[in-house]
A and B are shown apart, each in its own frame.
Chain A
Amino acid sequence: GQQLNQSPQSMFIQEGEDVSMNCTSSSIFNTWLWYKQDPGEGPVLLIALYKAGELTSNGRLTAQFGITRKDSFLNISASIPSDVGIYFCAGRDTGNQFYFGTGTSLTVIP
């Protein structure tokens, strides 16, 4: 099935820097979700978005549901070492099918 295009694939940043990643689809989505996965663990839901233009924050994380309904963005402000992990976007299309992004691996250098 479709896999969402997520970028960048990996990031190496200094502690304290801000991070941005995005996800695009070829079709319109009704829901966008952002997950974080720590090594050896299952993904944990960070933020859920339900309508175009919606901007939602969870602590230092902010995510937006793109106006075109074909993309979403996740920003992390003032990164800290525990932000390390793989971030996945996911979404549900108008046919109620669920898709995962290819993942962004984040490394934070103290």
Chain B
Amino acid sequence: GAVVSQHPSRVICKSGTSVKIECRSLDFQATTMFWYRQFPKKSLMLMATSNEGSKATYEQGVEKDKFLINHASLTLSTLTVTSAHPEDSSFYICSARGGRASGRGEQFFGPGTRLTVL
């Protein structure tokens, strides 16, 4: 149990375009989902926390208009990188928490999405 999927796993886009990344909890209901960004050989940097049906809470320094997060259901959250630029290239990872699998607060991570902006 506690499987989280992400789609796409890898995306290459042109500068100025928008990219949507989906995060799904496959076998549990995720009351909370988290979006992280990770640079090579670095730790995960929390970007935002989203609770189902409410607006996401963004960490300091993260532009909410650039990184749009929608958590429309208990099994799906999306991150849209708007008007992407090369500096947005990174590894984006989501995690989910909720249900029996996260009875004590564990987060379960998706496999990540590698975004490359040309």
A residues near B (Cβ < 8 Å) are 1, 3, 30-31, 33, 35, 40-45, 48, 50, 86, 88, 90, 92, 96, 98, 100-103, 105
Binding site for A on B (CB under 8 A): 4, 6, 34, 41-44, 46, 59, 91, 93, 95, 104-112, 114
* Neighbour of A44 across the interface among B42, B43, B44, B109, CB < 8 A: B109
Contact of A101 among B43, B93, B105, B108 (CB under 8 A): B43
Q: How far is the CA of A3 from the CA of B114 in the complex (A)?
A: 24
* Inter-subunit contact A102/B43 (CB<8 Å): yes
CB of B109 within 8 A of CB of A42, answer: yes
Kindly list 6 other residue pairs between chains A and B, CB separation below 8 angstroms, not including A41-B112, A42-B95, A90-B107: A42-B110, A43-B44, A44-B109, A45-B109, A88-B44, A100-B44
Nearest 10 CB-CB pairings of A with B:
A42-B109, A42-B112, A42-B111, A92-B105, A43-B109, A103-B43, A102-B43, A42-B93, A42-B110, A100-B44
Taking CB atoms, residues of chain A closer than 8 Å to B42 are 103
Q: Label chain A's interface by main secondary structure.
A: strand
- Known contacts A100-B43, A101-B43, A103-B43; is A1 also within 8 Å of B59 by CB? yes
**List of B residues within 8 angstroms of A92 by Cβ:** 105
In the bound complex, residues from chain A placing their C-beta under 8 Å from that of B108 are: 45
Contact, CB under 8 Å: B114 / A35: no
The contact sample of 25 A-B pairs, CB cut-off 8 A, is A31-B105, A31-B106, A33-B106, A33-B107, A40-B112, A40-B114, A41-B111, A41-B112, A42-B6, A42-B93, A42-B110, A42-B111, A43-B44, A43-B93, A44-B109, A45-B106, A45-B109, A48-B104, A88-B44, A96-B105, A98-B107, A100-B43, A100-B46, A101-B43, A105-B41
